[in-house]
Amino acid sequence: MTNNVRSIKIAGVSIALAGIIAVAAFLFSLARLPAQERNVPDHGSFTDCRMCHAAIYKMWETTGHSKTDPVKKENSSPVSCVVCHKPGSGDHPKQLVSDPEKLCNECHTQRAVLEGKGARGIEDVRSFHSAVTCVSCHMSEANHDMKLFRPNDPSIAENRLDTCTRCHKDNNRKMRAKQLTDWHEFYEEAINPIEKDMAAISAATKANPGALNADLKAKLDAINFNLEIIKKDGSRGAHNLDFALEIMATVVKDIKEIKAVIK
């Protein structure tokens, strides 16, 4: 009886193994078929992804990526799925065409601010967010809504984590909201008088183009360049407040020197 049971078990395993091999052979042969015979779109140029990915496509339609290229404003074509994804490539996670951070950096310039780099006459100023990836905050729910949930967002339910508390595990939404508000206030208090001074300098140099010597013109160019960095960043200090404040402190010093000449 024992031998019979053993024989039945062996036979069962053999049948199961044969079935697995048959299925694998079928899938392999299917994969070798041309795309049109498999009824699968050519993902290299395919843009109507909603046919198979309706839920993700619906999320994408609500984002800025669906409306226009965020950098090349003259090109109103959307940042479609195949801009970031190349199914079958296998070289990067989620079948992305390159590293996620590199993809963001191709259109968005905020990485330099996060790392505190690129300002003229100012050493690099890193912050505790400098090593954080873009998708950690802007895809904090790991989906294609691309939403950043502020801790003071009234639409967030109590049981739903905001973007900040996904990393800061104290889950103190009130404290995080206060911190973010403080950052914005520090930024605004510093930038507002600078913008007034820059408007006055612009008017004065237009009225008297020869008012500044070569050195002061170079300083004014550096001021405009550095201010443009934090204005284009758009986070009002949230990405790297230390870097923004360092830029503005240097700007204030140089503005004082320029104003002393044009008055």
Give per-residue pLDDT as tens, 53-63: 888 888 888 88
Mean pLDDT along residues 142-156: 81
Give per-residue pLDDT as tens, 186-241: 999 999 999 999 999 999 999 999 999 999 999 999 999 999 999 999 999 999 99
The pLDDT score that the predictor gives to residue 30 is 46
The pLDDT score that the predictor gives to residue 204 is 93
Q: 119-124 long-range contacts, Cβ below 8 Å, gap at least 24?
A: 119/225, 119/226, 119/229, 119/243, 119/246, 119/247, 119/250, 120/222, 120/225, 120/226, 121/222, 121/226, 121/250, 122/226, 122/246, 122/247, 122/250
pLDDT band at 172 (very low <50, low <70, confident <90, very high): confident
Give per-residue pLDDT as tens, 2-14: 555 455 455 554 5
Other Cβ atoms less than 10 A from the Cβ of 237: the count is 24
Is residue 116 over pLDDT 80? Answer: yes
Is residue 132 over pLDDT 70? Answer: yes
The pLDDT score that the predictor gives to residue 37 is 47
Give per-residue pLDDT as tens, 21-54: 554 554 555 454 454 444 556 666 666 788 888 8
> Which is more confidently placed, 73 or 232?
232
99: amino acid identity, one letter: D
Is residue 16 over pLDDT 70? Answer: no
The pLDDT score that the predictor gives to residue 257 is 95
d(CA 132, CA 116): 13
Mean pLDDT along residues 178-192: 94
Give per-residue pLDDT as tens, 242-255: 999 999 999 999 99
